Amino acid sequence: MPSIPDIVVGILQFLVIMALSPLMTGIMRKTKAKTQKRMGASVLQPYYDIVKLLRKDEIVSDQSSWIFRFTPWINFVAIATAAFFIPVFFAHSPFGLVGDLLLVIGLFALARFFTMLAGLDVSSMFGGLGSSREMMISALLEPAIFLAIFVIAITYGATNLSALVETASVSPLLSHPQLIFAAIAMFVIVLGETGRLPFGNHATHLELTMMHEAMVLEYSGKSLALIDWSQSIKQIILFALIANIFVPWGISSSLSPVALGVGFLLFVIKVSTFAVGIAFLEASIAKWRLFRLPDLISVAIASSMIGLVFYYL
């Protein structure tokens, strides 16, 4: 049974993910602007956008059903629930007793499923285009995700996130060569799950490059705010998983305020570094053609398979 301090720290970790998620989006946008010789908006701009959208009225298509209206809430609740299970600056999450890494991936899939339905629900050409592309990519990403999880799980002997992070914090990455290949696979998976280049481009509304943006093009006001915030939360959750499973240095294993403070500071540095790295990558490559993306996903699957071979050698 979790103690009261454990529960308090678990809630704080959840609040950190919720609060920092728009900041990571702002850092990535600012980095891309700087690499393109532009001034760019403030790193706090995503916060301003969410507050502004929450104050605006919504315009809802008369062709839509309850699916379109409820999808932003389902999306937000599913991804926010996943945030409860993620160790951030403390290696143990008390809510991990009711959920593990497989449940987190399942909640992401639930949110994606309703988003695709909402894209089809409004009878929009763009929504259908985005949903069909998302269906194709998600069908290919699922095997890659589960193979990468399998490599991690057999290495550390669990799928529970607290157990994974606690074991990883005392077991160096270089002592498990298979995890290097799992990390490569996870990096490709993060790009695909968040719709980043070369998979998609969040900064455009061109029909040739839209994927996630096409599915949510009909949303406005509070619904759009929830969807944007949900996407930022999902993004920082994936960053946190990579940071705390593959580079868990500095994460606290005690409830000491100093250790928790150091763990929080190092977490912010790690996920910010990862966000800046992805932004630099996005600024240096173009979006791939849709039918070339399976080649990139194949790299993730092959990398996980090589990791499995290394584990059994």
Q: If you average pLDDT over every residue of the chain, what do you get?
A: 88
Give me 281's structure tokens. Answer: 């990558």
Give me 18's structure tokens. Answer: 């919720």
> CA-to-CA distance for 262 and 133, rounded, in angstroms?
42
pLDDT, tens digit, 9 for 90 and up, residues 59-74 = 887 778 899 999 999 9
* % of residues, the chain, pLDDT over 70: 96
pLDDT, tens digit, 9 for 90 and up, residues 173-227 = 767 888 999 999 999 999 988 888 788 777 666 666 677 777 888 899 999 999 9
Least confident of 62-76, 83-97, 164-178: 164-178
pLDDT at 273 over 70: yes
pLDDT on residue 99: 74
3-state secondary structure of 176: coil
| Residue corresponding to tokens 């269906």 | 135
pLDDT on residue 292: 86
pLDDT on residue 207: 60
**Residue 228: what residue type?**
D
User: 47: pLDDT confidence band, cut at 50, 70 and 90?
Assistant: very high
Residues contacting residue 188 through CB under 8 Å, at least 6 positions apart: 144, 296, 297, 299, 300, 303
> CA-to-CA distance for 162 and 96, rounded, in angstroms?
6
Cis peptide before 2 (omega within 30 of 0): no
- Contact at 8 Å (CB) between 144 and 305? no
Strands (E), 141-186: none
Q: What letter does residue 313 receive in the DSSP assignment? A: -
| Residue corresponding to tokens 């990579």 | 242
3-state secondary structure of 90: strand
Give me 206's structure tokens. Answer: 């061109």
User: Which of 200, 198, 190, 203 shows the shortest CA–CA distance to 45?
Assistant: 203
**Residue 172: what residue type?**
P
pLDDT on residue 206: 62
| Residue corresponding to tokens 């996920």 | 271
- Contact at 8 Å (CB) between 236 and 20? yes
> CA-to-CA distance for 88 and 116, rounded, in angstroms?
30
pTM score, two decimals? Answer: 0.93
| Residue corresponding to tokens 């990883």 | 168
How many C-beta neighbours within 10 Å does residue 32 have? 20
> CA-to-CA distance for 311 and 154, rounded, in angstroms?
8
> CA-to-CA distance for 200 and 130, rounded, in angstroms?
10
- Contact at 8 Å (CB) between 104 and 86? yes
Least confident of 48-57, 105-114, 163-172: 163-172
